[in-house]
Structure 1
Amino acid sequence: MKSDHAIPPAGMSRHLVPPAPPRRMTSASSTSSSPPAVPAPPRPQRRYLTPPAVPARPSNLPQAQSNSWSFFRDANLVLLVLVGCALLGMAYLFLGGRERVTIRIDDQETTIWTRQQTVRDALVEAGIPWNEQDLIRPPLSAALPRDGNITIRLATPIVVTADGAVMERRTQATTIQKVLEENNITLKPQDQVFLDGRLTRADASLPRYAASAGEPASFSSQNGTLHISVTRALPITINDNGTISTLYTTENTLGTALARAGMQVYIGDSVTPELTTPVTTDATVFIRRSRPASITVDGRTIRTRTRAASIEALLAQEGVQLQGKDFAVPAPTDPIVDYVNVNVTRVREEFITETEQLAFQSKWLPNPDLELDQRVVAQVGEKGAKNRLFKSVFENGKLISTGLEREWIEKPPQDHIINYGTKVVLRDLTLPNGSVVQYWRKIRLLATAYAASTSGKAKDHPEYGRTRLGLQAGRGIVAVDPRVVSLGSKLFVPGYGEAVAGDTGGRVKGKRIDLGFPDDAIESWYRWVDVYLLAPAPSSSQINAVLADYPVERKK
């Protein structure tokens, strides 16, 4: 009933086709009282079984009997035509009405076969969810396109933070500028835009939203959401020795604002207010310069004025210290000259130890001393550790050289070993009628019910009511997963009775069993039961010692 194997119509392969009667041989010279010799009839065409040889028939048989033999021969030909039409009908019922649809989700593509009429119903049947902002062509309400192509462009999930507000959206925009325009956010000069915490340009393109095919509503790692934030620039008026300029900045203090703008302030310069003063709207900074000198150190140039006599004193004035293998050009002992530029190179070495976890392996080993379905953890798995030591040399923060110093296994991984039982033990089971039978295995299965009428085949279908093993569906025939219970096994189900595993089903997977009932007496079943596999037990090579672990029974 739940199998796709074809079963020949009852009675077809067992009928013998009557042989064609021999044709009377007549002759113009036939005047003798004895009948003339009759030749052997021609060999009949093969139908289903070869008919036995037919002795020659006397030529004086009545004409009516000859016509009856021709009738039986034509009946076989008609029967063969009917069987061919039945097979063509079965193929039409299976394939008729199904259309091929190609669904393209961004750069990924999948193909389905469906009988649905609209785009929405086809996506629902394929298990493909969507969001309101996703771009679907043709529209959801439209009929399936003739070319069978459906395209989905996923909307990108974003979080926009600007002017104290946080907005969560999904968008089809391709640039940050378009996202800001959609949310009525206007950028001013020197405003800064950050994408996922990194400074970027407003006209930068949005990264593609990386979702899996068939899961447009699911976010990827870190929720797949793009975070866009806008930091507003504030105007500052700078009076630098009488030169007035306006600076827009997003920095927090005046000192960092000047540094960001490339306006270096050194010890000896007079700055009002102090460099640590927070930036406010329309703030004014007054700078009075001293003697000119410059120091290039730590990726910046310090322009200052100084009364020092040597390079060493200048560096001390600015708080620049040479440590370890650091060096300066000119040398620290050289005298100060006007507009001197001192270049300080920072040299440092870094040693980094990286630890890599080594995964353990899980091993399942049979144990003949344990009964079936018994498991024992013989050894708990533990991860190992592998260490690597790297040395890097930097000058002014720039990597000059790096290399692996050494590596070693800090701790080897330990395998996770599980022993499972293979021992078959026969036990007695008392049935409700008082009889005692033996069983060799008890399995906890989720039991449901079915009948021929619920199998998805019409009553006029040739296989209606036929099971996978060719049995008649009904009480006493159950559907199982052959990986759990072998087909043909005898078993006992409490509340149902004895049965034969004679059928399979598309939804009968893992620890499930479908109990057969007549069409007019089907019962409602959906509960976990202990199923007993009755003796005799099959050979050990036919027993699956490790069963599937799904579905999982929820303990109350």
Structure 2
Amino acid sequence: MATVTWKHALQQARRSGVGPYLARLGTYALPLVLAAALWATWQLTARPIHVTVDGIQEQVWTHRRTVAALLLDLGLTLQPQDRVSPPPDTPLQRDMTITVQRARPVRLLVDGRDLQIASWGETPAQILADAGEYVDRYDRILLNGVPVAHDAPLPEPAVTRMAATYDRGHAWNQARLEPIQLRVIRSVPIVVDDGSLPFTVRTTAQTVGEALREAQITIYLGDRVDPSLGSPVTSGLRVRIQRSTPLYIDVDGRLIKTRTRGETVADALTAMGIGVAGLDQVEPGLDTPLYDEIRVKVTRIQEDIHVTEEIAPYETVYVPDPNLPIDTQQVINAGANGITRSRYRVRYENGQEVARELLDTWVAQEPQQRVIAYGQKIEPKVFTAADGTQYTYWRKIRMAASSYSASTAGVSPDASYYGRTFTGEPMRFGVVAVDPRIIPLRSQVYVPGYGVGQALDTGSAIRARRIDLGYDDDNLVLWNRWVDVYLLWPPPPDYQITWVLPNWPRPPQ
């Protein structure tokens, strides 16, 4: 295939009628070709260099001879604190690696000045030392507005990548190292007078209370601070602390732990609003000087006059009255209890009685006997039984009735007196056991539902208003109820009559 030269092609173009256009094309293409040739020549003669800036690596091509010249071409303006490896005057070689580490930007706010520096310091104290700023150990440092210790390690540098809205050239030009802000708050001296030898403390606090707390000076509720805890701190301020005394007060059943600035026990009680009056006792005394952990005991003392009464029950006296019917009574004198009064002086300590003194005793009222007249008039009375039989009696008694026979009397059949009554009569129907004081033996009685019986027996359980109705063993009827017992005429001699009957057992209502 024949080689077509540029000149030959141009001649063919002129013959074909497109000559004018190709002539103009040749006029512009020649400079472009020359430029491309120059670019290719530059690329062939340039050296590749690996550049790392703040950890961001990129490859560049250069004809510069030294590191410093290359960094200048790259637009990297370095501060004296920045680090370059290898050194800036090092000759460049093909595929060399250059590392640039820029110092951290720092904004310092100190003593009213706003400074912009760069530092390799790893703690706030090192950065301030790099800036030539002296910091007292009492000064306070704020890192981005937050209190931080002087030797606290700083956080890792924060790199912010900017949005790629347009081409900013090299990759490290799109990264921004965020500055940190250090603010120094200078401490000021204040003098603290805590009751002994005054001493000086340095503080950055805004108020007296905060300054004392930073100095680990404990203030109790009862202490007095002058100027007050909320007062602002100024250089040379003198703070006076009047200490309170801790003490215990035992009063009204409570143990109070408190503090006071008073000098005596009386001052402490007054400050607590504890009143002492009358016979109250205070230990130790009111004028006793206070000391730490003193225990004050207040004893409430009260004296009252008490009057007691001793009751002497009246006696009841029964007197006979022959004009009153038997088993009737009449009160002649209601009677009255005797009253003896005693007056005492009673002493109380904290509400508890501790002493009682007898002052005098007197009889307020003499006892008066109760006089009751009982009837002794006996007249015959007639009772008509259910079958129409009439019985003449002289007394009717309400009694608790039971029944028994020879085999139920509680006597052994082998006993010689088995089946015999107290009077020696054989046991049978019609024999009743009574209390001889109420119904004389051998008296005749009538019991409705039983009939006529004769009081021929007694019993250990037959007392007062109890009567036991006798039966034969083969016709025993069990009794357990209250009945009216009629004592048949004639009455016994007066000396055998119990005129006032005991009220036992008590009949049901």
Question: Please, what TM-score do these two structures have when normalized by structure 1?
Answer: 0.41
Q: Which has the larger radius of gyration?
A: 2
More strand, by proportion: 2
TM-score computed with the length of structure 2 as normaliser: 0.44
Q: Which has the higher contact order (CA 8 A, sep 6+)?
A: 1
